[in-house]
């Protein structure tokens, strides 16, 4: 029995995972001050004495187990979340970036069975990513491999500011805040990307154009470098890939170095909403 936890910006989900199947799960709202205690409580609710636990976190993890910081959850800079949780739960706890964990799930149980090298792009509040090359999950030297959201897609002086503090990042145009901002420039503001999709119309179409253009430009740079087999989209809006695919394709065609690079398969994750917990549950734990 494997236990996976997906620590998101708004919710924490813990699950009992069997292969690619979630047998049971429990959720709680994310509160920065009590997140570690809340994770431990959720895990114990599902399994009083687990043998090991894997946790996907909304930030990057160094080789020594400390996270750099969690951009949307204050107070965790340089914290060794695995050690902290191990003390609370009483078993080895593996910790990995959420998009990297989702990419592991995709490698094991999804498109990884067909494609050996792919970038998994998570679309949600931010734009994240996990990288699988030649069948292996790549963490990178500092745990940042595949983090595509901060690729530069607009270098003009009035480029939009990104949550990371820099301007012109892909995430500034394809993340939630950028999509809501674009919509509000054209129509009465809405508070979620799903509402924009539901309302539709010309303003929504301009939002999908902006999103697809930013994604396509960034992905072209990545694919010009890595020559991948596929790009896999995961997360909320990924189910609406049809809304943005034409725009992504056009931007890819404009920026990709050669036709094979722009004709790369654009796919929706086969793991759905549980990708994070499934990937987390299968993270290797090292003895400590």
Residues in contact with Zn ion by CB under 5 A are 150, 162, 164, 169
**Among residues 159 and 203, whose Cβ is nearest to Zn ion?**
159
Q: How far is the CB of 23 from Zn ion (least distance, A)?
A: 37
**Among residues 167 and 203, whose Cβ is nearest to Zn ion?**
167
Q: How far is the CB of 180 from Zn ion (least distance, A)?
A: 17
Place of tokens 């725009």: 247
**Among residues 50 and 128, whose Cβ is nearest to Zn ion?**
128
Q: How far is the CB of 135 from Zn ion (least distance, A)?
A: 30
**Among residues 173 and 233, whose Cβ is nearest to Zn ion?**
173
Q: How far is the CB of 47 from Zn ion (least distance, A)?
A: 37
Pair type for strands 127-133 and 136-138: antiparallel
Q: How far is the CB of 215 from Zn ion (least distance, A)?
A: 14
Q: How far is the CB of 6 from Zn ion (least distance, A)?
A: 23
**Among residues 150 and 274, whose Cβ is nearest to Zn ion?**
150
Q: How far is the CB of 127 from Zn ion (least distance, A)?
A: 9
**Among residues 160 and 183, whose Cβ is nearest to Zn ion?**
160
Among 81, 80, 113, 101, smallest CA distance to 4 is for: 101
**Among residues 54 and 129, whose Cβ is nearest to Zn ion?**
129
Sheet containing 21-29, strands listed edge to edge, beginning at the edge strand earlier in sequence:
21-29, 11-18, 2-7, 53-57, 93-97
């Amino acid at each position: 029995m494997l236990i996976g936890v997906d620590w998101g910006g708004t919710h924490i989900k813990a699950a009992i995972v069997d292969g690619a199947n979630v047998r049971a799960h429990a959720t709680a709202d994310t509160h920065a001050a009590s997140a570690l205690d809340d994770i431990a409580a959720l895990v114990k609710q599902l399994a009083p004495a687990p043998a090991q636990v894997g946790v996907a976190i909304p930030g990057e993890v160094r080789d020594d187990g400390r996270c750099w910081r969690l951009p949307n959850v204050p107070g965790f800079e340089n914290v060794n979340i695995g050690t902290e949780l191990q003390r609370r739960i009483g078993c080895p706890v593996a910790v990995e970036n959420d998009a990297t964990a989702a990419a592991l799930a995709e490698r094991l149980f999804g498109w990884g069975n067909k494609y050996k090298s792919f970038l998994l792009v998570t679309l949600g509040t931010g734009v994240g990513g996990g990288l699988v090359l030649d069948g292996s999950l790549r963490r990178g030297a500092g745990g940042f491999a595949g983090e595509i959201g901060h690729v530069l897609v607009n270098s003009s002086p009035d480029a939009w500011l990104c949550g990371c503090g820099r301007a012109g990042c892909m995430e500034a145009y394809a993340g939630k805040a950028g999509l809501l901002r674009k919509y509000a420039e054209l129509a009465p503001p809405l508070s979620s990307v799903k509402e924009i999709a539901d309302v539709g119309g010309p303003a929504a179409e301009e939002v999908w154009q902006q999103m697809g253009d930013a994604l396509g430009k960034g992905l072209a740079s990545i694919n010009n470098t890595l020559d991948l087999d596929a790009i896999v989209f995961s997360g909320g809006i990924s189910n609406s890939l049809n809304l943005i695919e034409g725009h992504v394709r056009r931007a890819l065609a404009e920026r990709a170095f050669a036709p094979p690079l722009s004709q790369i398969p654009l796919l929706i994750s086969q793991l759905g909403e549980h990708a994070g917990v499934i990937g987390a549950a299968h993270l290797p734990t090292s003895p400590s």
